[in-house]
Structure formats: C-alpha cells, structure tokens
Amino acid sequence: MGSVADARSEAPDRRGEGLLADSFVCSICGEEHEGLPTDWAFTLPDDVWAIPEPKRSEVARFNKDLCQLGERYFMRCVLEIPFSDRDGFFGWGAWAEVEWSVFERYLEMYEREGWEEPLHKGTLANALSAYPDSFGTPVLIQFRESTKRPSLHALPDDPSVLAMEQRQGIDGLRFHEIAALLSTDG
C-alpha cells in the first residue's frame, strides 16, 4: 500500500480519526487496513486553515498540492520519519512555505521528474503535535518523481527531536506515542 501522502487525490483533514483502533479505513482507497495508519496529512497550511470559511476561500487560492495566501506560497510535501525496527516510515503530509522562485519552479516541474533538481529551502507550515515548536522549522525540499509529492528534510545541523528522529528513525513505542498524540488532535 502506498502512502496516503503520496497519492495525488483530495483527502479530507483527518485529524484524530480512529488512530488507536485495530484497523482503519483509508481515506484514499476506501478499503479497511489492519494496524495503525503510517501517515498523517494536513489539508492546508496552519495559517490558512485558521481562517474561517467562507473567508478562507476568498483570501486564499489552494488545491490539494499548492496554496497561495496573498504573497505567501506553500507546497504540500511529505516529511518521512523512518522506522528503526521495521521497513517503512511514518509520513507527515505537511506543507512548506517557500519563496516565489521555488513555488514557480515546482509549477514548472509538476509533471516531470525532479530528482536531479537541487534542494530548495522552505519552512514547515504545520505544527506537528509530536514535535513541539516544529511550526516554522527551516527545511530542505527535494522534488521527486511526478507521481509523488516533494520530500521535506531537516537541516543537517538541526538539533531538534524532529531532526534527530528523521535521521535515526523511530521504534514501535515512539510510533505508538505519536499515534496516541494524533488521536487526541482535532
């Protein structure tokens, strides 16, 4: 099964939906899967999500992958935290705020392979509840193949727990801690 964050279809904001159950229904394929979900997706950047509807739709332009709020630009990406005790990763379907030049380049590369692109700078535009103070964290963005969202990477010298876990991975206990935190979000 692919990551929900890698699918290019619209999914509702899933904050707190049944994360500690024995199984879950995938919001993308509609099928029931055993175990806990291994991703968490944000519908919009936090600053945009905080704007009440219908004003949000009046002041921001957005789809499932791109968002513009005035002169601010955002791209939906995937921040992968590898598992240290099994294959795979926990994927945060998070937004990065970027400069216009990065946003424009992503638009140019949207349907093309982007692995050979240089890394681009951005900042994390969602607060990841498992990582206090993660909102606004500087990140590096790697474009990937056209069927996947760009990946987010902590800066090499970032001493935060988020960066450490991205570099070293998380075990099953930490994964369950994250799932428990997410089950209370929303």
Confidence at 9, pLDDT banded by 50, 70, 90: very low
Whether pLDDT at 186 is above 60? no
Whether pLDDT at 26 is above 70? no
Total Cβ atoms within 10 A of residue 72: 17
pLDDT tens per residue across span 107-135: 999 888 888 999 999 999 999 999 999 99
Say how far residue 91 (Cα) sits from the centre of its chain.
7
Q: Residue 7 burial by CB count (10 A; 0-12/13-18/19+): exposed, middle or buried?
A: buried
Q: What is the pLDDT of residue 21?
A: 52
Compute the distance between CA of residue 13 and CA of residue 49 in angstroms, rounded to an integer.
Answer: 10
Q: Which DSSP string do the residues of 83-127 spell out, in sequence order?
A: BSSSS-EEEEEEEEEE-HHHHHHHHHHTTS--TTSPPEEEEE-S-
Query: Which residue type occupies 48?
Result: V
DSSP-assigned letter for residue 169: -
pLDDT tens per residue across span 88-103: 999 999 999 999 999 9
